[in-house]
Amino acid sequence: MDLAAAVLAGQVAAGARLIRWLDDGDPRGRAALREIYPATGRAHIVGITGPPGAGKSTLVDILIAQERARGRRVAVLAVDPSSPFTGGAILGDRLRMSRHAVDPGVFIRSLGTRGGRGGLSRATYDATAVMDAMGYERIFVETVGVGQEEMDVTALAHSTVIVAVPGLGDEVQAMKAGLLEAGEILVLNKADRDGHAQTLRHLELLVHLRTGTQAADAWHTPLLSAVASRGEGAAAIVAALDAHREHLHRCGEFSLQSGRRSEQQFLAIAGARLRERLLELAPELRAQVRTQQLDPYTAAERLVAALPGPDP
Amino acid sequence: MSGARPLRVLLAKLGMDTHTVGITVVAHALREAGMEVIFTGLKQTPEAVASAAIQEDVDVVGVSSLSAGHTRSLPRLARLLREAGAADKLLVAGGVIPEEDVPLLEEAGYARIFTMGTDTRQIVAYLTAWGAARSGALQP
Amino acid sequence: MSQARNASPAPPGAGADERWEREVRAPFVAQAPERRDPFTTQALKWPIKALYTPADLEACGFDYATDLGYPGEYPFTRGTQPNGHRSSLWTMSQVTGFGKGEDWARRARYMLAQGLQGLILEHDLPTTNGYDSDHPLVEGEVGRAGLAIDSLEDLVRAFDLPFEKLRYLMSVCNAPQPVNLAMIIAALEARGVDPRGFVVHIVNGILIEYTCVGRYIFPPAHGLRIATDCLEYIIRHHPNWAPISIISAQLQPAKANPVQELAFSMAIALAYLDATLARGLDIDTVAPYFHFVINVDMDFFEGICKLRAYRKVWARLMRERYGATRPQALRIRMMTSPTTVALTLQQPLNNIGRLAIMATACALGGAGEAMTTPLHDEAHALPAEEAIRVGAALQHIVAHETGVADTIDPLAGSYYVESLTKGIEEAAMAEIGRIEAMGGALAAIQSGYFQQALGREQYERNKDIEEGRRKWVGVNHLVVPGEKRQIEIFRADNRVEEEQVARLKELRARRDPAAVARGLARVREAAAGTDNLVPACLDAVRALATHGEICDAMRAVFGVHTPDSQLTGV
């Protein structure tokens, strides 16, 4: 059985190998991706983000248990930062989910950001596509919150869960209203800690302010509490995820988002390719710009003008 | 830092032992050398480690054993990997492993045993050389 | 400088130091470059000057009365006992503990016969992690790293000892402490031993386990509650016992430097203290129960100065933070030990020399109540009987042949020793302040602060050795290529596991299931509420509930701990 067929049949070793090829930029990966791509677009992709120490991995661990209790097959992508100097990384998120290691219905994969920005690896999109094609119903993508750049995971995921912890008063501020708007489900983890009531009130206020500006049939962000280390709160979160997926399907957003995601990736890849090609095609323009003989705007206009126009 | 694909190394601690100093130092050294280290946690069973090795499609599986349970659990891990079709992964071990147990482990499939106190630069060099030789061998 | 004829001359000042440096030493060094650049202490990596003089004491504000005082008086820097070791020496002890109950008893009797008076009971990994010997996860581990205790009957078998020779019995258990404590109490009863006749000492040190080594079961806040239950129970019911030991000596192999070791262990002590005081006990009652196990590494002066700083910092904290007034509350109690991590796999006989040096440092820094020697082939496997004899003899040699214990705190007044002691003290007090500001030791554990600090040190220190900045004989200096180990290796019996499993089966068939169920229910109830866990564990233990069953009852209520970062420093 060739690799693409094995991936479509849901074989973990094959899926893992394909993700590896895509992560490494191995051309064999591209060929297989082409074959499996039509089978993507079904999985519900859930982003899990929040500041370090929020307990995201432990939360994912209990969410996996809940999903499995409902008979669903689950995949997890755990993304951690690669060293910008050496390219190496220590990927330790899966250890908090280790009780699921021998469950055949759970596929956990760790990725280093490998120079990707926004807390995601360039391969994250590809990896979710592979897991999607393998038939996993829910794919959790866990990333470290790095500030405003969490936006990237919200573009990738259908539903984004923001994980906060008590006592991070200033950090909650630092998470910025923009981030809170991008998340669809807000979870206050470690709810047994000191300062939980205060943080809860703060978050309630933020959610309330946002809800006040929304339309009646819009999705209203639920604020949920959890103590992941004790397994508490998982059922409510999964119910909220199910509800959000329902909502997205009902208003047609689900497939629109999947489509937007594919398109975004297409634009990013095409953009990078075109950029390389353009630089090859215009050495004189480049030289003129570099020696200040030509300003950048003029040079760009001349380059674009020289290209063939849109299809008739 | 070359454009070469980073080596993916799974580090695992089998059994009840929870000392992390040795494995921490090795993990950091491998990261400094540009490798991706997947740490599967403490108190792991051979089954869990084998499953993780497949899911992560690692190149190398490195197990640490400090509590003398190694004569049973390490060979079992090697067998599980073979049965899962992952015999092409490099299998190495480290920790408090007496000289006299090394032949048993080598026969079970462990390519190298790094006894306690091995210079991490040696470990990095060994893995790097293995990775380079394998990419060379895979070129058409 | 004018001098009155019958007054002693003023000591040389900084000016004189500079003159010597400029005119005598610097020209010499220009011809004979120094063999290290720079010279630094081994763990702290603080610069070591060529020479220390009275000017250094002046520079750090040293004052005999406030910094040293007298032995047996605040701040106890020179010693907690009025007469040092001149009246009685420290208790000499060693670690042992392996196999089944009877094996341990046999070895313990051998050790007592060799002149040791204290025994330290280590439990195997399944036991310290709260599992019975037949649990699927523990295959291959039963009885290897210590004693396998699955039920009260196992401990009763282990207590087949000449208790009249025993001054002191320490049990290392940590996470399942209330179960272990209950078994000890019940086992002593079963053997007809009067618990007032000697000191039972439980380590009960779960907070350190969250920062290094990692033998924990429940989440940190519950771990602290359990430890406090054991503390309170012993203070109220067995006031002559020792209910806690802060084993700073675990931090040191995890590469904590002396300042971190002192600061982290004190912050952890403060967490236990605060929790116990909240139970309605007062500082003058509780503080005297605290006990530290501190080890020294090969840097002779770091070790000595650290021990002196420990005494001063504890005294200051008790008085300044709690207003303690009883001398027993202000006097730290400690046990010292040469560290095992200074010992090498290579050329193991060298380790005997290392142990002698470190034991001497302990004696010079103030050995405390007891000194424990690890054994020279411990870099490798569990101790063999030959090594026990050498370890015991070594302490006697230091005590009787060197004279270091014949006067109190002989290195006091040394310009270097006092500068370094004060430096360690002040840096540690500052770090303790920082930890308290972040919410104390529990918060530091939950946020991973301790673990990350240690992870950084581990990586850096390992690099020091690999890159040759630190010379280690046998490892990167005077290496003997291809050397063969001659040391006799001790191998634990493989059959221990089978026998324990059989015993468990037989026990379960024989005991009264209703009594067991009642006992376990009592444990769950106590765990869910605020009742002290120890009485509930006593019921369960006497009903022959097993160690693993009682721990599972607590797991059902407390949950298990999976930390944010198991790999330190990541």
What local confidence, expressed as pLDDT, does residue A176 receive?
Answer: 53
Distance from CA of C118 to the nearest CA of A (A): 40
> How large is the average pLDDT for residues A68-88?
92
pLDDT of residue A154 exceeding 80: no
Mean pLDDT of all residues in chain C?
88
What local confidence, expressed as pLDDT, does residue B69 receive?
Answer: 60
- pLDDT, greater one: C321 or A215: C321
pLDDT of residue B33 exceeding 50: yes
Whether C459 maps to a domain, the answer reads: yes
Q: Give the angle A66-A67-A72 at the CA atoms, nearest 5°.
A: 150
Residues of C in contact with B28 (CB under 8 A): 455, 458-459, 569
Do the chains contact at B34 and A87, CB–CB below 8 Å?
A: yes
- C295 and C184 in a common domain: yes
> B138 CB near a chain A CB, below 8 Å?
no
Whether C477 maps to a domain, the answer reads: no
pTM, whole model, 2 decimals?
0.81
What local confidence, expressed as pLDDT, does residue C488 receive?
Answer: 39
Mean pLDDT of all residues in chain A?
85
What local confidence, expressed as pLDDT, does residue C161 receive?
Answer: 83
- pLDDT, greater one: C80 or A164: C80
Residue written as token pair 């309330």: A208
Q: Please state, in angstroms and rounded to a whole number, the distance separating the CA atoms of residues C233 and A233.
A: 35
Mean pLDDT of all residues in chain B?
86
Do the chains contact at A90 and C561, CB–CB below 8 Å?
A: no
Whether C237 maps to a domain, the answer reads: yes
What local confidence, expressed as pLDDT, does residue C48 receive?
Answer: 96
- C501 and C461 in a common domain: no
Instruction: Point out the residue among C213, C458, C489 whose CB comes nearest to the CB of B18.
Output: C213
**Interface predicted TM-score (ipTM):** 0.90
The count of other CB atoms within 10 Å of the CB of residue B54 is 20
> C126 CB near a chain A CB, below 8 Å?
no
The residues near A269 (Cβ < 8 Å, ≥ 6 apart) are none
> A96 CB near a chain C CB, below 8 Å?
yes
> How large is the average pLDDT for residues B9-17?
86
Three-state DSSP at C275 gives: helix
Name the amino acid, one letter, at A1. Answer: M
What local confidence, expressed as pLDDT, does residue B67 receive?
Answer: 55
pLDDT of residue C175 exceeding 70: yes
The count of other CB atoms within 10 Å of the CB of residue B115 is 15
C105 by Cβ neighbours in 10 Å (0-12 / 13-18 / 19+) ranks as middle
Whether C135 maps to a domain, the answer reads: yes
For chain B, domain boundaries: 8-134
Residue C400: which pLDDT band, with cuts at 50, 70 and 90? very high
H-only helix segments in A37-175: 56-69, 123-134, 151-156, 169-174
pLDDT of residue C84 exceeding 90: yes
> A271 CB near a chain B CB, below 8 Å?
no
What local confidence, expressed as pLDDT, does residue C490 receive?
Answer: 45
* Three-state SS letters, C147-177: ECCCCHHHHHHHCCCCHHHCCEEEEECCCCH
Residue B66: which pLDDT band, with cuts at 50, 70 and 90? low
Mutation site for C-interface testing, chosen from B14, B19, B20 by largest number of C Cβ within 10 Å: B20
Name which of C78-87, C166-175, C357-366, C394-403 the model is least confident about. C166-175
- C421 and C553 in a common domain: no
Chain C: partners with 3+ C-beta pairs within 8 Å? A, B
- C374 and C288 in a common domain: yes
**Overall fold of domain A40-250:** Rossmann fold (3.40.50)
Residue C384's CATH number:
3.20.20.240
Q: Among residues C327, C326, C324, C296, which one has the least CA distance to residue C309?
A: C296
pLDDT of residue C379 exceeding 60: no
- pLDDT, greater one: A95 or C272: C272
- C356 and C297 in a common domain: yes
Q: Among residues A49, A46, A206, which one has the least CA distance to residue A136?
A: A46
pLDDT of residue C504 exceeding 70: yes
pLDDT of residue C487 exceeding 80: no
Question: pLDDT above 70 covers what percent of chain A?
Answer: 90
The residues near C192 (Cβ < 8 Å, ≥ 6 apart) are none
Indicate where chain A has its CATH 3.40.50.300 domain(s): 40-250
Say if residues C229 and C406 touch (Cβ distance below 8 Å): no
- C167 and C252 in a common domain: yes
What local confidence, expressed as pLDDT, does residue B34 receive?
Answer: 94
Three-state DSSP at A60 gives: helix
When divided into structural domains, chain C yields a total of 2
Q: Please state, in angstroms and rounded to a whole number, the distance separating the CA atoms of residues B65 and B74.
A: 9
* Three-state SS letters, C455-506: HHHHHHHHHHHHCCCCCCECCCECCCCCCCCCCCCCCCCCHHHHHHHHHHHH
Query: Tens digit of pLDDT for each residue in C7-26?
Result: 555 566 888 999 999 999 99
Query: Tens digit of pLDDT for each residue in C195-237?
Result: 888 889 898 999 999 988 778 899 899 999 999 999 999 999 9
Question: pLDDT above 70 covers what percent of chain C?
Answer: 91
pLDDT of residue A24 exceeding 50: yes
Local structure of residue B18 (DSSP, 8 states):
-
> How large is the average pLDDT for residues A114-118?
73
**Overall fold of domain B8-134:** Rossmann fold (3.40.50)
pLDDT of residue C485 exceeding 60: no
Query: Tens digit of pLDDT for each residue in C185-206?
Result: 999 999 888 888 888 989 899 9
Whether C17 maps to a domain, the answer reads: no
> B52 CB near a chain A CB, below 8 Å?
yes
Query: Tens digit of pLDDT for each residue in C97-136?
Result: 444 556 677 777 877 787 777 777 888 888 999 999 998 8
What local confidence, expressed as pLDDT, does residue C382 receive?
Answer: 40
Residue C501: which pLDDT band, with cuts at 50, 70 and 90? very high
Do the chains contact at B37 and A101, CB–CB below 8 Å?
A: no
Chain C residues with CB under 8 Å of a chain B CB are 125-126, 129, 131, 137-141, 144-145, 212-215, 253-255, 344-346, 379-381, 455, 458-459, 462, 466, 475, 485, 489, 492, 566-570
Name which of A68-82, A254-268, C423-437 the model is least confident about. A254-268
Domain with C552 in it:
495-558
Whether C480 maps to a domain, the answer reads: no
